[in-house]
Chain A
Amino acid sequence: MSYLSAEDVSVAFAGLKALSSVNLKITPGHISGLIGPNGAGKTTLVNVLTGFQAPTSGAVTLDGQPLTNLKPHQVRRRGIARTFQGGRLFRDLPVIDNLEVTGVGLGMSRRAAIAEAEAMLDWIGIAPLKNRIAGTLPYTDERRVAIGRALMGRPAYILLDEPAAGMSAPEASDLSDLVRRIAKSLGIGVLIIEHNVGLVLGLCDHIVVLDSGAVIEEGDPAAIRDSEKVRHAYMGTAADTVRANLEVMA
C-alpha cells in the first residue's frame, strides 16, 4: 500500500527543538489533519515533508523510499504537492498561468499545461476567474487557485497549510466539500493543517495533534474530541475558541 510518512523526524533551529521524533503517515484517498497551538511545529513538519527543510534527524519516505535529500522541486515531481499560508500565488500572472506554471514544472508542454489548467479550474468551479490577475483576487478565491495549482498533474498527496484561515463559515464549508472531493474522487491523500478545529474534526479521517514540536495525541475525530491532553494543550492559547468548536461539533 502506498503511503507518505515522516519517521522519527526531529528539527532543531540553533539548538531550539522545533520538532522532536514526530511520526506521521498519510495514505491516498484519506484526509489527515494536523492541529496544534501556534508554534507547535505544524508548518515545519510540512516543510520537512516537502523538501523545504532538512530534518536534523529522522526520515521522510514515500512508499518506503527515502525523500530526505531531495530538493523541493524533486519532491513535487514525485507527486507530493503543497500550498502555503497566504497563498503565495504568482501575483502578476493570470490565474490560468498560475496553474500552467506547475504543469510546466512537471514537464508538460505549455499547451498541454494550459489545457489541463482549464480543466482543473472547471473541476474546482472557478473557471470564470481564468483570466483574472492573481494578485487582484479576494482571499477565498486565492486559496482555491492555490489548491488548483497544487492539484496540477494529479499529485498522489497534497498538503494544505491553513487553507481556511480568514474564511467565513459558509466559505469554510465550501472548502471542506472541495477537500472531500479531492480525496474521494481524485484519490489523493490529503494532509490539512488548520486552526479551525471544528473544520478538521468534521473533515478528517485521522488527526494528529502537535504541541511544542511533539505529537501529544492522535486518532479519529471522536478520540481527539474527548482527549484531555488536547484540551489542555489549547488551554491558555485559544481555549475558548477550541471549546466552542468542540461544542459545535458535539
Chain B
Amino acid sequence: MSTSSPVIDPILSAEAIAARKPGPFSLAGKSIVTPILLTLILLAIAIVTVMIGSKPFNQVIIDLFVRVILVVGLYVFIGNSGVMSFGQIGFTCLGAYVAAWLTINPMMKKMSLPGLPDFILKAKMEYWQAALLAALFAGVAALFFGRVLMRLSGIAASIATFAMLAMINTIYSNWDRVTGATSSVVGIPIVRSIWPYFTVAAIVIFIAWLHAISRAGLALRAARDEPTAAAASGIDIPKERLVAFVISGAIMGVGGALTAHSIGVVTPDNFYLSLTFVTLSMLVVGGMGSLTGSVLGVVILSALIQGLRFLEAGVPVGGSMLALPKGLQEIALGIIMIVILALRPSGLFGNRELTLNRNRSE
C-alpha cells in the first residue's frame, strides 16, 4: 500500500458526514431553552417589581440583577475552566471607575479627580455608552493579566488571581488624583429604572450560553475535567482559558459600571473582599458548572439575604419589636452555605441546566 496517500474509508466520506449534521440549537445538551427560561424568570421578577411600585423593593431587585450579571460573569470563567478565580471582582472595580470617569459632570470631576487626562475630564457620556466602554476596558485588562495568569493551574492560579485583586484594590485605593483614593467618588448619575439592568442581565445570560455551546466552551470544559486528555486532543488549554477570562472580565466590567449607576457612589472597597465573597458564594451554592445554577443561586441567596436583613431590622410582634442581633445575616448566610454544600457538594444545580426536557444535563 502507498504510505503517503492512505486509503479513504467510504464510511468517513464527506457526503456521509454532511448528512449527519445536527440542528444548530441542539448541541450537547446545552439547549437554547435554558437562557430563554432564565430570562423569563428575571422578566417575571421585573414585572412584579414594577407592579408593586415600591422604591426600596425596586432598589433590591436592581441589586439582584447586578449580582446576576456579576455571577454569570464568574460562571463564564470559573464554571467552564474549573479554575477558582478570586480576582474577577477586580474587573468590576475597573468597570465601575470607568463609568464614574465618563459620566460624572466635568465640573465636579475637575474638583474631585483632577489627575484624569484632559479628554476624560471633558467627557460627559450617557450611562450606556460608559457601560460599553467599561466592558471594553475591563476586557482589555483581563487580556493583559490573563496572558500571564492562564499559564498557571490549580491553587497557584487561584492565589495569583487573588494577588491581582489586591493589586487593583491597592492602586485604586492610593491613586488619589485619578480614583480619589479611598474616599467616595460621588456624582455618578443614578439610573433608577429597572429595565436597563434587566436588559443587560438577559444579554449577559445569552452571551454566557453562546460561549458555553461554542467550540471554546466545549474545549474548556473538557480541559477542566481531564486536562491531559484535552491537550492530547489538540486543545490549547491556556488559550481557551484566556478566551473565557476575557469574556468574563468584560461582563464583570459592565456589571461594575451598572453597580456605579445603581448607587451613584464608588469606593475601591465596594469592589473587594466582601463582594468577592458574596458573589462566589452565590456561584458555588447555585452550582459552578451550571448557567442555571449561577442565575438561580443569585435569586435564592438574595432572597435569603433580604429575609435576614428584614429580621435584623426588626419585626413587630404584639406590642414590641423582635429583632435579630446585627451581624446575624452574615453568620446565617455562612451556615446556609455550609448546609447546602454538605448536602449537595456540587451546588443546588450541579452541572444541570433548566430545560423543558427532563434529564438534560452535561
Contact = CB atoms under 8 A, between A and B. Distances in A.
Contact of B228 (A52, A102, A104): A52
Contact of A28 (B4, B215, B230): B4
Interface in B23-40: 24, 27-29
Interface string A122-157: 110000000000000000000000000110111010
A119 B231 CA distance: 23
Interface string B1-41: 10111110101100011101110100111000000000000
B28 A97 contact: yes
Nearest to B13: A119
B215 A77 contact: no
Given A28-B6, A92-B351, A187-B6, A71 B228 contact: no
Given A90-B225, A185-B7, A118 B20 contact: yes
- Residue of B24, B213, B219 ringed by the most chain A CB atoms within 10 A: B219
Interface string B231-253: 11111110000000000000000
- Residue of A29, A104, A111, A150 ringed by the most chain B CB atoms within 10 A: A104
A223 interface: no
Nearest to B28: A97
B352 to A, nearest CB: 11
B27 A110 contact: yes
Interface string A94-117: 100100111011111111111110
B362 A92 contact: yes
B8 to A, nearest CB: 9
A217 B1 CA distance: 27
Nearest to A83: B232
B218 interface: yes
B226 A90 contact: yes
Interface in B290-309: none
A186 B7 contact: yes
A6 interface: no
B4 to A, nearest CB: 6
A82 B230 CA distance: 11
A17 interface: no
Contacts of B5: 187
A26 to B, nearest CB: 11
A72 interface: yes
B229 interface: yes
Interface string B73-95: 00000000000000000000000
A93 interface: yes
B235 A84 contact: no
Contacts of B362: 92-93, 97
Contact of B234 (A100, A102, A116): A102
B129 interface: no
Given A2-B3, A28-B4, A73-B236, A112 B229 contact: no
A179 to B, nearest CB: 15
A89 B215 contact: no
Mostly, the B contact residues are loop
A77 B214 CA distance: 20
B21 A114 contact: yes
A115 B17 contact: yes
A5 interface: no
Contacts of A76: 231-234
Interface string A184-216: 111110000000000000000000000000000
Contacts of A73: 231-237
Contacts of B235: 73, 101, 104-105
A93 B219 contact: no
- Residue of A71, A90, A105, A120 ringed by the most chain B CB atoms within 10 A: A105
A104 B20 contact: no
Contacts of A123: 9, 11-12
Contacts of A187: 1, 3, 5-7
A23 B362 CA distance: 43
A1 interface: yes
Contacts of B1: 29, 184, 187
B28 A71 contact: no
Interface string A42-83: 000000001010000000000000000001110011000110
Contacts of A107: 234
B234 A105 contact: yes
A188 B12 CA distance: 14
A100 B26 CA distance: 14
A28 to B, nearest CB: 4
Interface in A196-242: none
A119 B17 contact: yes
B12 A120 contact: yes
B222 interface: yes
B233 A101 contact: yes
A115 B20 contact: yes
Interface of A: 1-2, 27-30, 50, 52, 71-73, 76-77, 81-82, 84, 88-94, 97, 100-102, 104-116, 118-120, 122-123, 149-150, 152-154, 156, 184-188
User: When A and B form their complex, which 3 residue pairs have the shortest distance between CB atoms, in order from nearest?
Assistant: A187-B6, A105-B234, A102-B233
20 contacts: A29-B3, A30-B3, A71-B231, A71-B236, A73-B231, A73-B234, A76-B231, A76-B233, A84-B229, A90-B230, A93-B221, A97-B218, A105-B234, A108-B215, A111-B22, A115-B20, A119-B11, A119-B16, A184-B1, A187-B6
Interface of B: 1, 3-7, 9, 11-12, 16-18, 20-22, 24, 27-29, 213-215, 218-219, 221-222, 225-226, 228-237, 351, 362
